[in-house]
Amino acid sequence: MTAANTLRWWPPVGILAMVALGLAVGHGSTPLDDWFIRAGGSHPALGELLWFTYPPVLQILLVAAVVIALYRRRWRVAAAVALTPLTGVLAERLLKWLFGREREGALSYPSGHVTVMVAVLGMVVLAVGVKAWLVSAAAVFALLGLLGQSFTYHYFTDTIGAAFLGTALVCVAYWAAKLDRCQPRCDLDHSGG
């Protein structure tokens, strides 16, 4: 399966997975969620992993990605980079209200911090260019941020649902940014001949 095909089929699969997980976990925690809560309580230093979802860190990365896209005169990429995290915020807020799952009195499913983090990291990769080292670094960064939220403010399953949502949004942004209007039936990377 090519990367272009994955970009096309992952958004509905990711959204369906997020909805299925949200319905499966309902309003309470799971044994896996409880393990993360206990681990975070026993090891408060794990809270330092929240740095990876700290809004100023993500804002700096997002501004850098927009600047890179603008510098390269990739206007559609710049628009996608700027709009995707905002779309993530709007989507997670609506979904939190729809699912109604709470942790410590606040709506929690899917995690907004993780949704935005995944969206921002995906936009950095889009703006800079898909390179193995950058994708690997973004994946490690995302995993650490996901764990930080799981050990502190969110259920682990909240963060997994957010990862499904965030990656679906990233794939839509990639598709939108690379859509070739001159040759609408052409493959995305023009390698098909």
Mind listing the pLDDT tens digit for each residue in 21-63? Answer: 999 999 989 999 999 999 999 999 999 999 999 999 999 999 9
Cβ–Cβ < 8 Å for 103, 155: yes
Cβ–Cβ < 8 Å for 157, 21: yes
Task: Report yes or no on 76 lying in a domain.
Answer: yes
Residue of 2 and 61 predicted with greater confidence: 61
The confidence score (pLDDT) of residue 130 equals 86
Q: Give the separation between CA 142 and CA 146, rounded to whole angstroms.
A: 6
The confidence score (pLDDT) of residue 8 equals 82
Mind listing the pLDDT tens digit for each residue in 107-147? Answer: 999 999 999 999 999 999 999 988 999 999 999 999 999 99
Task: Report yes or no on 188 lying in a domain.
Answer: no
pTM of the model: 0.88
Task: Report yes or no on 35 lying in a domain.
Answer: no
**Domain enclosing residue 147, as ranges:** 3-25+44-178
How many folded domains does the chain comprise? 1
Tell whether the model's pLDDT for residue 179 goes beyond 80: no
Task: Report yes or no on 80 lying in a domain.
Answer: yes
Task: Report yes or no on 16 lying in a domain.
Answer: yes
